Structure 1
Amino acid sequence: MNQINSTDSKLAFDEASTGSLLAEKMLNKVPEVTIFFWIIKIMATTVGETAADFLSETLKLGLTITTVIMSIFLIIALFYQFKAKKYVPKIYWLTVVLISIVGTLITDNLTDNLGVSLVVTTIVFSIALIATFAVWYRSEKTLSIHSILTVKREIFYWCTVLFTFALGTAGGDLISEGLDIGYWKAAIMFAALILIDFLAYYRYKLNAVLAFWIGYILTRPFGASLGDFLSQPHADGGIGLGTVGTSVLFLLFILIIVIYLTNVEKDTNRKSVD
């Protein structure tokens, strides 16, 4: 009897160890939140705005064709992201850049092709984002990116990311264009809100998960406003770098940082939060 109990205990220990190792591998698919995370995130949001305009307007592909093409690329990137057994910087950040572009195109299609107002799209995507958070939390009891241990949680994560980009585009355009505040003023306003969120977390101990998602949401309209300010001509309130120049510049910076992170593994996530 003692031998049987001992064997059962050993099996239970082996199963727990295996589960722990599998969880560790899943954790590594999401990067650690470092300064590099936020730099690439902001650059990716800027590229999402400028690249979408470049493809649909400068190359004259149109919103519909551009959306179809970029959605196909996004699906391919997501396939490899879900297939990966650990966090791979080039796959993860390629997916973020593509989802940024697609999120922008979704909003642009609704406003430009279907005539839906920026107020409506902002409200709709806000509701969609809140609903995603609610379902995610109800199902998993956590919204922490350090707890992306299963495919189910990863699906919630990427759905949330998509809605933050779509919402950020709608909200950013509503503030800068719809309310006629201007690109650089809108960028400063969103930067101030990000700073407030940062101070609330570090100085006043705002919940880490809440602070992260507030920052994640706000960096999107900040990046979109920044991208428009850099790319749009002087007559429209920008500095005239153009969609090509802005996209190439930011993509180059993203590439350099991703190569660096791949070599040094500085943003590999080893934390575990249930």
Structure 2
Amino acid sequence: MSQPSLSHGSPMQPIERPGHVEPAKVPEATAGFWAIKIVATTLGEVGGNAVTLTLGLGYLAGTAIFGAALAVLLAAQVRADRFQPLLYWAVVTATTLAGTTLADFCDRSLGIGYAGGSLVLLGLVVATLILWKRTLGTVAVETVRSPRAEGFYWATVMFSQTLGTALGDWMADSSGLGYNGSALLILVALVVVTALQLRTRVSRPMLFWTAFVLTRPLGATLANSLDKPVASGGLGIDDITISGVLALVMAGLVLLIPQRAGRRAACADAP
């Protein structure tokens, strides 16, 4: 008696469905995504300062605290079987908090400086993206489904957040632009990225990660304009108050703004 064929819908070998759309474990990069991201980065800056400076725990202790929280949240994110907005944004916020304290520890405690720290972190971001591309064939966030892809994604996010902190501090404190000038320059750069997205065929993943990096120093400069002393060009609002307000704002945005997992045809070519 001949054996049944396994090539047509056998339970042992699932049927390939051309064009089948598989959801990613990260959200689509919509306007709502970027709005929440900017609030998260601003919260990360003031929250990090609240722990390290206002509470006086220092950069190393702050990095350890936020690093531990990030590890717990990231483990939950990787174990999750689908995109969960509250969990995802909790991880993003943890990366902004840890990135803030880590960048300040390297720049100030270790004496690397803003410019040196920014160059090192830029190299880490680029190296991670290159390794990701060579390993999985694409760095498109719509394909982030497997634990390996998530590993590359969150490593890039963490390096990007830390880079953004160092870059934002350098622009505000050392470049002579000040808080408002730095924010304006970053906004102009983001407008250019948006124009390239809408009017050119420049790599979408490259534009996404460029915008992801740029929104971090934007959040940092906005935070500095809120919590720095009036004599230094800020509003002088204490970090703990700002952190509480921003946490409420962010929670409201995550709950109210419609979000869905990024989707991409499984058979589509990766850019």
Report the TM-score, using the length of structure 2 for normalisation: 0.91
CA RMSD across the alignment: 2.2
> What is the match of residue 50 of structure 2?
54
Cα deviation code 1:232-253 (max 9, x no counterpart): 1111111222212322222111
Distance in 2 between the 1:147 and 1:7 partners?
Answer: 28
Alignment of 1:1-274 (within 5 A): 4=3, 6-11=5-10, 14-16=13-15, 24=22, 27-261=23-257, 266-272=259-265, 274=270
Contact 2:190 2:211 in 1 (8 A): yes
Cα deviation code 1:51-91 (max 9, x no counterpart): 00001111111112211111111111001101100001111
Q: CA deviation at 1:144?
A: 0.1
Using the TM superposition, name which of 100-109 and 204-213 deviates more.
204-213
How many residues are aligned here? 266
One-letter amino acid of the structure 2 residue matched with residue 160 of structure 1: T
One-letter amino acid of the structure 2 residue matched with residue 52 of structure 1: G
Contact 2:165 2:220 in 1 (8 A): yes
Report the TM-score, using the length of structure 1 for normalisation: 0.90
Distance in 1 between the 2:214 and 2:125 partners?
Answer: 13
Distance in 2 between the 1:100 and 1:16 partners?
Answer: 42
Distance in 1 between the 2:238 and 2:33 partners?
Answer: 26
Secondary structure of 1:271's counterpart equals strand
Using the TM superposition, name which of 204-213 and 230-239 deviates more.
204-213
Secondary structure of 2:159's counterpart equals helix
Q: CA deviation at 1:216?
A: 0.7
Distance in 2 between the 1:17 and 1:80 partners?
Answer: 30
Q: CA deviation at 1:162?
A: 0.4
Contact 2:51 2:58 in 1 (8 A): yes
Contact 1:121 1:167 in 2 (8 A): yes
Q: CA deviation at 1:224?
A: 0.7
Gaps of 5+ in 1: none
Cα deviation code 1:193-236 (max 9, x no counterpart): 00110011112333221211111111111111111111211111
Cα deviation code 1:179-198 (max 9, x no counterpart): 23211110111011001100
Indicate the structure with greater strand content. 2
Change (3 A) 1:243 1:107: same
Distance in 1 between the 2:186 and 2:7 partners?
Answer: 57
Indicate the structure with greater helix content. 1
Q: CA deviation at 1:17?
A: 5.5
Contact 1:233 1:242 in 2 (8 A): no
One-letter amino acid of the structure 2 residue matched with residue 102 of structure 1: A
Secondary structure of 1:11's counterpart equals coil
Q: Percent identity?
A: 30
Q: CA deviation at 1:102?
A: 0.5
Contact 2:24 2:143 in 1 (8 A): no
Q: CA deviation at 1:115?
A: 1.2
Distance in 1 between the 2:161 and 2:13 partners?
Answer: 42
Contact 1:73 1:98 in 2 (8 A): yes
Contact 2:85 2:259 in 1 (8 A): no
Cα deviation code 1:89-146 (max 9, x no counterpart): 1110000001111011111111221111111101100111111011001111101000
Using the TM superposition, name which of 224-233 and 85-94 deviates more.
224-233
Distance in 2 between the 1:97 and 1:46 partners?
Answer: 10
